[in-house]
Amino acid sequence: MSTATAPEHADIVEAARALEARYGTPWSTPLPAWNETLDTLLAHRSVRNYADRPLPAGTLETLIAAAQSASTSSNLQTWSVVAVENPARKARLAELAGGQSHVREAPLFLVWLADLARLEAAGARSSASVEGLHYIETLFVGVIDAALAAQNAVVALESLGMSGVYIGGIRNQPEQVAAELGLPPRVLPVFGLCVGYPDETQPAQVKPRLPQAVVLHREQYDAPSQVAEIAQYDEVMGGFQTTQGLSAAGWTSRSLARWRSRESLHGRDRLRDALNALGFELR
Amino acid sequence: MSTATAPEHADIVEAARALEARYGTPWSTPLPAWNETLDTLLAHRSVRNYADRPLPAGTLETLIAAAQSASTSSNLQTWSVVAVENPARKARLAELAGGQSHVREAPLFLVWLADLARLEAAGARSSASVEGLHYIETLFVGVIDAALAAQNAVVALESLGMSGVYIGGIRNQPEQVAAELGLPPRVLPVFGLCVGYPDETQPAQVKPRLPQAVVLHREQYDAPSQVAEIAQYDEVMGGFQTTQGLSAAGWTSRSLARWRSRESLHGRDRLRDALNALGFELR
């Protein structure tokens, strides 16, 4: 593990470049330190085009070791992951996720699961009561555990020169995904993750994020000061969209389109019914 | 960003040591590569004892830049974070989280939020319908966004020689936490995160996790083969608990105790009511 040291000049140049790409605006806050891990984190981009290059043996095990190193609530480890490499299964999952061809094309597709079945089964073996598993809190723990684990895997794979993209579309039809993966009751597919080497002929760009002043609050939540900063970000995103060949709609209007109606959730408006069908009581 | 290269001998030694600490058993899978970022990820431990040492200027901004570099569903960025340094507020949050003194003692306490209010407010400014925000799916997006962001911050702070611990107890009394932080409706405190330099006189140990065969499934979920592996892990955890001065109860029985009854959720059995009170309809 590296320790905090004043950054070298080359690090400062690299850091400033990374931060300006991340926000699409100049960065002015002095930094305490910089390192290779921060480079990896800041350089993240979602990649949907992969090189025709297999993953080296041991890659999956390395990613899972990183994932398992993330925090987990009370060490309950209420998550699992299914690694899918079979082309036919990847193709079926690609369709279930809304026809996303990169799910089929990635050499490895990981489906991250909130897994309450493992401890439930252990309880059954020892005739223990598992009343707590029926509460929405316990499902939240599983979803959060899965997300922390998956993000560690993403950092690990990007540190190894690979890329990926999360697939929230795995929640479009959770019961069908559960059937495809042979999931027992009380296991929820939370999201997918495509993994592969990036196709360097179609490089993905770092997407600018909201200004820090919008997401970072000091001591208490500050709503009023977000308004002007969001307007500025709409300008930044408009410029970014233009470089991507998209109309310069900005952030606000494109984001609001996702929430406009029940239909704009693309079937995920029925997630509560799907959770019930998968055995979650949501008490 | 580093690229995949065959690991050097020193890296192999370091990797094997890290993996054996993580699992409490020998590691036999050949690795494709190793690097400083993997070192940081594998070395994670939850730290509750902090040195009396302030965080350097610019630390918070660096952590937030890392957090914002994580993936976010459709770039909606449905999360925020409140940075708490005020001693009196930290003390109140420590009590609300179940009397956890490390919340008070950490120089920085971050409360990570699923934030549906920001886009709701933008919708109100442009008279747009935001029907989609009322679905449980949308709350899940916010919780997952917050978790991915927070985990990137954890990796960043550990790469800088700092440590932390997640505080799920922030969900014990969500309405009171929301009042303390001045949160608008439709903003959920998901968890807290203590940040500080570790007290090297009270070092925390890496906690062994379940064998990979238990959490990693190939092509389809495999329940039967978990049984023997969990029994082996109970032995490993019993040994670890002994080194920590705890009774060697293993993993299964301690974990089942958390689910035994409604009461064992320590008040979080009422999370659904709290969500409703905070303005989440959970359609």
| Per-domain boundaries in chain A | 1-43, 59-202
Rounded mean pLDDT, B86-91? 98
Residue A1 has pLDDT above 60, yes or no: no
pLDDT mean across residues, chain B = 95
Q: Would you give the DSSP letter of residue A46?
A: B
Interface test with A, best of B155, B177, B230, B263 (most A CBs within 10 A): B155
| pLDDT value of position B13 | 85
| pLDDT value of position A5 | 60
CB contact under 8 A, B166 and A71: yes
Residue B231 has pLDDT above 70, yes or no: yes
Which of A57, A83, A251 has the CB atom closest to B216's CB atom?
A83
CB contact under 8 A, B283 and A275: no
CB contact under 8 A, B256 and A130: yes
Q: Would you give the DSSP letter of residue A173?
A: S
Residue B7 has pLDDT above 90, yes or no: no
Residue B2 has pLDDT above 70, yes or no: no
Interface test with A, best of B255, B260, B283 (most A CBs within 10 A): B255
Residue A238 has pLDDT above 70, yes or no: yes
Give me the percent of chain A exceeding a pLDDT of 70.
98
In whole angstroms, what is the distance from residue B84 CA to residue B182 CA? 12
Residue A153 has pLDDT above 90, yes or no: yes
Residue B273 has pLDDT above 90, yes or no: yes
| pLDDT value of position A261 | 94
Q: List, edge to edge, every strand of the sheet that includes A216-218.
A: A216-218, B79-84, B108-115, B187-196, B163-167
Residue B6 has pLDDT above 80, yes or no: no
Residue A133 has pLDDT above 90, yes or no: yes
CB contact under 8 A, B158 and A79: no
| pLDDT value of position A14 | 87
- Across A118-122, B12-16, B97-101, least confident range: B12-16
Residue B259 has pLDDT above 50, yes or no: yes
| pLDDT value of position B3 | 47
Q: Would you give the DSSP letter of residue A198?
A: B
CB contact under 8 A, A182 and B221: yes
B37 CB within 8 Å of a chain A CB: yes
Give me the percent of chain B exceeding a pLDDT of 90.
94
Interface test with B, best of A22, A143, A151, A270 (most B CBs within 10 A): A151
Rounded mean pLDDT, B183-193? 98
CB contact under 8 A, B83 and A217: yes
Residue B1 has pLDDT above 50, yes or no: no
- Across B14-18, B164-168, B227-231, least confident range: B14-18
Rounded mean pLDDT, B250-279? 96
Adjacent-strand bridge partners of B166: B193
**Nearest by Cα to A280 from A111, A132, A176, A81:** A132
Instruction: Specify the 3-state DSSP secondary structure of A103.
Output: helix
Cβ contacts of A148 on chain B, cutoff 8 Å: 147, 150-151
Tokens found for residue B103: 């919340």
- Across A25-34, B59-68, B176-185, least confident range: A25-34
Adjacent-strand bridge partners of A80: A113
CA distances from B28 to A70, B25, B64, B186, B236 (A): 21, 10, 37, 48, 17
Which positions 55-114 of B are in contact with A (Cβ < 8 Å)?
A: 55-62, 64-66, 68-77, 79-86, 89, 113
- CATH fourth-level superfamily of B59-202: NADH Oxidase (3.40.109.10)
Cβ contacts of A68 on chain B, cutoff 8 Å: 22, 209-210, 212, 215
A28 CB within 8 Å of a chain B CB: no
Cβ contacts of A275 on chain B, cutoff 8 Å: 136
Nearest CA in chain B to A283: B272
Q: Which tens digit of pLDDT belongs to each residue from B102-153?
A: 999 999 999 999 999 999 999 999 999 999 999 999 999 999 999 999 999 9
Q: How many residues does chain B have?
A: 283
Rounded mean pLDDT, B253-280? 96
CB contact under 8 A, A258 and B132: yes
A258 CB within 8 Å of a chain B CB: yes
Which of B31, B130, B255 has the CB atom closest to A259's CB atom?
B130
ipTM: 0.97
Cβ contacts of A48 on chain B, cutoff 8 Å: none
